[in-house]
Amino acid sequence: MKATLHLKDFSVLYPQSLPVRIKNTAIQILLMLCYTAPLSLSAQELPRVRNFSPEDYNAQPQNWCIDQESREGWMYFGNNSGLLEYDGARWQLFSLPEKQTLRAVACSDSGKIYSGGFAEFGYWKKNKVGALSYYSLSKDVQAIHLPKEEIWHILVLPDEVLFQSFSTIYKYKNNKITVLNPPSAIMFAHNVEGRVLLQVIGRGIFELLPDDSFRLLEGTEILGERIVQFIISDGKGGFWAGTTNDGIWAYSNGIMRPWSGALNSTFKRYQLNKAIRLRNGSAAIGTILNGVFLLNPDGSLRAHLNREAGLQNNTVLALHEDRDQNLWIGLDRGNDFVELNSPLTFFNDQTGKIGAVYTAAWFQDRLYLGTNQGVYVKGKQGTSDDFYLVEGTQGQVWQLQIFDNQLLCGHNAGTFLLTGASAQKISSITGGWHTLQVPGQSDALIQGTYTGLIVFRKKGNVWEFSHRVSGFNEPLRKIAFDEQGYLWGAHPNRGLFRLRLSSDLNQILEQKAFSTSDGLPSEFKVDLVRLDSNLIVNPEGAPRKISFNGATVRFDTLAPYLQSGKILPGMGHEFFIVDKSAVRLCAGKQADWFPVSLVYGYENIVPLTAHEYLFCQENGYALLDKNKIPQGSNAYSVLPFIRQVEAGGEAIEMEHSTNEVQIPHRRNALKFTFGAAVFGHQPKYAWRLDGFGRDWSEWQNSPEKEFTNLPPGAYVFRVRTNISDREAAFSFRILPPWYQSTWAWVGYALLALILLYLLERYNQRRLDRQRAQLEAEKQQDLTRHRTDAEREKLSLELDNKSRELSNAALGLIRKNEILLKIKDELLASKGETRALDRLARLIDSHVESDHDWEIFEASFNQVHDDFFKKLMSDYPDLTPGDLRLAAYLKMNLASKEIAPLLNISVRGVENKRYRLRKKIGLPEEANLTEFMMNY
């Protein structure tokens, strides 16, 4: 026995004003909560139990209460270290303000998690980033006993919450605390079909009425001197009251009497502590000394869970049925999960009595197990009888198979005929690996052994050894006939063989060994099974189907979803896909996933009855009841969740948000934390990041994923589990850095415009200076006599001016080209705004401005002063646009160079040239540019 509380500690729990008898009773209760003792167990098939030790959740051993949050389905535990949270992937611990032991936890539909400990009660609530924050309700409560007592129980009702110590009830309603004082010290309050019932020690069972008064239930006074640990509905309008040492009492029609169930005497020995009525009408009864008893609705025993059955401890401190109708057990050491709502039950050979199970058979109302230690049998499936050894079968058993209502055992030492609990050896040839009925010969069996093939014949009504098959001496672990009558055999280590037997089964007429050169994926550890009319070979790697094309044998790839794992046959058209950690049953369009591990290398699943399979395991077996598998959906369809997203080391606010989250570029390193509220086993996860890649990742055990240096863009992170096709998603966008933002591009455009404006002003001033200089030089030429030499000099200067004019025109061309490109880029920008439109219009105004033309015209006239006058005189129908085109042609500019000067396309220039040619009447064979240059 062990105790974590001492008598000297109780002086602070109850004030001296309470009667001595009540204080002593409370001390007795608390000591019983800390007591533990061992127990024995007989063989039984039980629900799967998953253990969570203090090392798993990293807190103190004792867990006083359990509840489940209704939204995500996360579990919460009252632990000596504080509040424990488990989301199916990770444990987290949250402490009360003074790190008190947390005795009580209760979750509400509003998302609040109420808790209580020493001199403190309140609630926890998730903040915007998903972390729990604590809010105290007791800090402003003025009560005599609160500073010296603990909150041991919390009852969440539809419109109020009751926080309970052993002396006081604190009612929380409409954000207000009301202190309720019972008639005397009390035990735990329970909601029994809408009524709040509790024991007042020394008085009986009371009901808390809506007006906050307490009313004694007549007839319950007999329980006044007993300690009532729980009160649950009996399902018939009454209730059961469980006492520490006097078993269960039943209350009905105003009468309280001892429960008539056969287990009541057992309960008196093991000290009842906790109980809950399950949703299917059955009950779970937790004891201090002997674990949990699961009762059927009629009160009979369904199963008994204690340390020998897989629990970590026999002292039950808390019970809770989760939303999937599975059972959580809070223990004096650790938490255990019992998968009640599962089609699987397990027999765990904790002591190693029977060994690893390789095969099984249900024969004449007995369950036979073939193990590495012999054949074990128990009287009837589902009873509590122990397995016992069939004498003479000690050693490795390979196969148990029924042929013509006789059970044969293939054994390391030979072959046995089993009858009841006795074994008769019918063959001494070692290694009876695999026995088959010979097609078309109802009186013949063939067996693969360590040293070849042997034949059994039926003499009378009994199978007997007949002879060896000559011509083949290789060991064969698996054998199977194909549709052509060939016998295929798989070597235990390396090789696959095809054999043709004589009609009398005496010899091998033909044999062929297959290897990788024949298309076999691997020659090692080959397994062989028959599915309907197909033969499936399972080498190390993907399974293959054996196919025939005349005399040629092919090993064809199976359907995509069958390309991994080992294939095992089931009943009818059903089959299994097996890997190291799980088994998937495929039946029609439905595939159900079960977390079962088989004996590696010797995987075997045995059909027992029309609706039951037995899975052979290293330390026992599992039974699958197909009738309990949910139809139309996977057995597990839990929605995964994304718990938290960190960007740049900071958590993102994501509470119930489906909108795209905007993330600054400086925080483009993201970490996703996810999980699934699956508690019976650890699922595997796969993720995909849309916008980053299209493929799902490989399955992984880790419930988190990190990305670094994500480029700007829109993304969707998705996660799923290997037990369901459902997925969770989180949408986000990495914003571009400031130098790639829309406003940055606007700034770049403004800067470019400023530079172009300054360049334009510079060119304009330069042209003005050149024009002034030309005018001055022209005036000087008019006032003096010109000699031939001077005229030649003037001609050269005129050529220079022409070149300068050409350079100026080219400058205008380049300026307009740049402005037009900037305009195109701005209009094509994704971040198009009104500001960008205004910039585009400003560019158009510069491109289409007449100011540039006026400067150009003035310079042109200085070089070709009579050109426009003569042209207008000869062709008065010419427009100003025609004159501009003629000037540019005079300068020998190409259409590509003229287009930006006129702010039109090259095609537009060609159209203008055509119209100008028509107006001046120029023949088609004449060159317009040469005409203008010589004009």
pLDDT tens, 627-663?
988 775 444 567 899 988 999 888 887 754 567 888 9
End-to-end CA distance of the chain: 124
pLDDT on residue 470: 96
pLDDT on residue 238: 94
Which residues, 6 or more positions from 800, have their beta carbon under 8 angstroms from its beta carbon? none
Residue 871 burial by Cβ neighbours in a 10 Å radius (0-12, 13-18, 19+)? buried
Beta strands in 523-610 (DSSP E): 527-531, 534-538, 544-549, 552-557, 566-569, 575-578, 583-587, 590-594, 605-609
- Strands 357-363 and 344-348 turn out to be unpaired
The residue type at 114: Y
For residue 461, CA distances in Å to 54, 85, 426, 837 come to 60, 64, 14, 100
- The backbone torsions φ and ψ at residue 295, rounded to the nearest 5 degrees and listed phi first, read -105, 145
Which residues, 6 or more positions from 500, have their beta carbon under 8 angstroms from its beta carbon? 485, 486, 487, 508, 509, 510, 511
3-state SS class at 519: coil
- 721-733 core/surface letters (b: 16 or more CB in 10 A; e: else): bbbbeebbebbbe
pLDDT on residue 699: 87
pLDDT on residue 9: 35
Look up residue 114 and give its two tokens: 């109420």
pLDDT on residue 283: 96
pLDDT on residue 922: 85
Look up residue 252 and give its two tokens: 């009905």
C-alpha 178/C-alpha 709 separation (Å) is 55
DSSP class of 840: H
Look up residue 456 and give its two tokens: 């059994």
For residue 8, CA distances in Å to 4, 5, 35, 62, 146 come to 12, 9, 18, 20, 19
pLDDT on residue 924: 82
Look up residue 247 and give its two tokens: 């078993």
Nearest Cα neighbor of 362 from 628, 62, 61, 608 is 608
C-alpha 182/C-alpha 52 separation (Å) is 38
> Within the chain, which residues score under 70 in pLDDT?
1-43, 380-384, 540-541, 550, 560-563, 632-637, 655-658, 781-855, 865
pLDDT on residue 849: 54
Residue corresponding to tokens 């022209």? 778
Query: What is the maximum span of the chain, computed from C-alpha positions, in angstroms?
Result: 151
SS3 content of the chain, % helix, strand, coil (to 5): 25, 35, 40
Positive or negative, the CA dihedral 594, 598, 600, 605 is negative
pLDDT on residue 414: 97
- The backbone torsions φ and ψ at residue 843, rounded to the nearest 5 degrees and listed phi first, read -65, -40
Nearest Cα neighbor of 689 from 718, 710, 666 is 718
Which residues, 6 or more positions from 633, have their beta carbon under 8 angstroms from its beta carbon? none
For residue 680, CA distances in Å to 51, 245, 636 come to 9, 33, 11
pLDDT on residue 42: 52
